[in-house]
Amino acid sequence: MISFDNTEIAFKGKSSKDLKKARWLFKMVSSPRMVKFGKWATNVALTMRLPINGIIKKTIFHQFCGGVSIQDSLKASNDLASRNVKTILDYSIEGKTSEEDFDKTVAEIIGTIHEAKKNENIPFAVFKVTGICLFEILEKANDSDEGLSEKDQVRYDKLKERLDQICNEAFTNDVPLFIDAEETWIQNTIDRLVLEMSRKYNGKRAIIYNTVQLYRHDRLAFMEKEIELARREGWYIGLKLVRGAYMEKERERAQEFGYSSPIQPNKEACDKDFNAALELSVKSLDVLSFCSGTHNEESSLRLATLLEENNISKDDPRVYFAQLLGMSDHISFNLANNGFQVAKYVPYGPIKEVLPYLIRRAEENTSVAGQTGRELSLIVKEIQRRKQTN
């Protein structure tokens, strides 16, 4: 059976110099104080217009991003491809609020679809709905899209137009498209819209993929319902399975407004539902294509085992594993080395614009109670292995 212990395979693409740089970076972000200070210093430097792009580019951006543009990211993509890992170009800018910016983002997403069409190393495109619409409109439409004010309705209709433009482009170019999941107080809107697009474009195969966050206690039931609906109505369903990225925010908001938290009671319950979702997925391949988006070794191993037990070929086009660039290379490259289909999200965009993404990666790798983070310990292990073999 596959093992993720092989750091030689995991870091084959990294020179010893690159590995030492990565060790330095993960050591820096392992300290909560350092991350806090880094966040503050970056903000100050940006406000004072100090030239910090260079240092960010060489350090954290280099680790977690492909480049500033699609073209600039192709080197990272080709490096992954040389070791059988595919790319999902992720235009990672956040916090835009003008209609003009939303239109620019739509054009950029369509650019990634066109690149995927001509590039065999790019099997999917991806985007976030908050990149093409004001958050508050999604929030107002969350319970129902009826009864919006006239002004909000115009913006909501514009969102639907943009969404259809992107999905139509994916359909016409035959490029499957992931739509990321976000906060629960806008996710009903996203789910409704994705369902509409799936019904429209998934008649022959899954082109439009919704995302299911298994840290929510209601998502396994949601998944079952959606799969059943697709089966009954005769279309194909695409799903990306993840645990979920907004846990703290979700819990805080539920407490603030006094409703019961949508999040699972604990990590075990979340893991249990994630693994149950993998089992349900493998059983539903008559209508479902899915991608397991996780850095969890146990879940990745579980899916690899499920495929084997159910005689599903490792390169079945309906099943993908995915991780983020710069994270969990031991999972990605060991899976790919064993013949499974693996892709990495390759985030890209202008340095200043992708900073919120980079800060989240830094915070995620901050060590808990002084323990060495997993990424850091793998890097250290590989540096030691190379020392011993040279």
Ligand X SMILES: Cc1cc2nc3c(=O)[nH]c(=O)nc-3n(C[C@H](O)[C@H](O)[C@H](O)COP(=O)(O)OP(=O)(O)OC[C@H]3O[C@@H](n4cnc5c(N)ncnc54)[C@H](O)[C@@H]3O)c2cc1C
76 or 181: CB nearest ligand X = 181
- Does 4 bind ligand X (CB under 6 A)? Our answer is no
* 293: contact with ligand X by CB under 6 A: yes
- The interface region with ligand X, picked from 38-46, 166-174, 264-272, 307-315 by CB under 6 A, is 264-272
- Neighbour tally for 316: CB within 10 Å: 13
Select 245 or 301, whichever has its Cβ closest to ligand X: 245
Name the residue nearer to ligand X (CB basis): 265 or 370.
265
Alpha-carbon distance of 314 to 170, in angstroms, equals: 25
Segment interacting with ligand X, rule: CB under 6 A, options 144-152, 159-167, 223-231, 290-298:
290-298
Site for ligand X in 322-381 (CB under 6 A): 322-324, 345
Q: Where are the alpha helices (H) located in 141-183, listed in sequence order?
A: 150-173
From the list 90, 60, 73, 68, the residue with the least C-alpha distance to 375 is 60
Tell me which stretch binds ligand X (CB under 6 A): 45-53, 199-207, 223-231, 321-329. 321-329
The reply on whether position 243 binds ligand X by CB under 6 A is yes
Q: Where are the beta strands (DSSP E) in the chain?
A: 85-91, 124-127, 177-179, 208-213, 237-242, 288-293, 319-324, 342-348
- What is the nearest approach in angstroms of ligand X to the Cβ of residue 180? 3
Q: From the CB of 47, what's the least distance to ligand X, in Å?
A: 30
Tokens of 87: 């790319």
Site string for ligand X, 130-159 (x = CB under 6 A): ------------------------------
Q: Tell whether residue 267 is a contact of ligand X (CB under 6 A).
A: yes
Q: Which of 98, 260, 266, 390 binds ligand X (CB under 6 A)?
A: 266
Q: Which of 242, 287, 304, 336 binds ligand X (CB under 6 A)?
A: 242
Q: How far apart are CA 67 and CA 367, in angstroms?
A: 27
Q: Is residue 210 at the binding interface for ligand X, with CB under 6 A as the rule?
A: no
Q: Which is nearer to ligand X, 2 or 383 (CB)?
A: 2
- Residue 128 · residue 182 · CB < 8 Å: yes
Minimum CB distance to ligand X, residue 218 (Å) = 13
Token pair for residue 349?
């965009």
The two tokens of residue 310 are: 């159910």
244 binds ligand X per the rule CB under 6 A = yes
180 binds ligand X (CB under 6 A): yes
Binding status of residue 215 toward ligand X by CB under 6 A = yes
**Scanning residues 296 to 315, which ones bind ligand X (CB under 6 A)?**
296
Nearer CB in complex with ligand X: 295/318: 295
User: Closest separation between CB of residue 239 and ligand X, Å?
Assistant: 11
Q: Is 162 exposed, middle or buried (0-12, 13-18, 19+ CB in 10 A)?
A: buried
Residue 226 sits in the site that holds ligand X (CB under 6 A): no
**CA-to-CA distance for 283 and 388, rounded, in angstroms?**
45
Output the furthest CA–CA distance in the chain (Å, rounded). 70
User: Of residues 59, 187, 189, 211, which one binds ligand X by CB under 6 A?
Assistant: 211
Distance CA 238, CA 215 (A): 19
CA distances in angstroms from 265 to 82, 218, 224, 258, 269, listed in the order given? 42, 12, 21, 16, 7
What is the residue whose two structure tokens read 């539902």? 273
Segment near ligand X (CB under 6 A), from 22-30, 75-83, 317-325, 350-358?
317-325
The DSSP result for 19-63, as a single string, is HHHHHHHHHHHT-HHHHHHHHHHHHHHHHTT---HHHHIIIIIHH
Q: Exactly one of 87, 264, 284, 300 binds ligand X (CB under 6 A); which one?
A: 264
Interacting residue ranges for ligand X, rule: CB under 6 A: 180-181, 211, 213, 215, 242-247, 263-264, 266-267, 270, 293-296, 322-324, 345
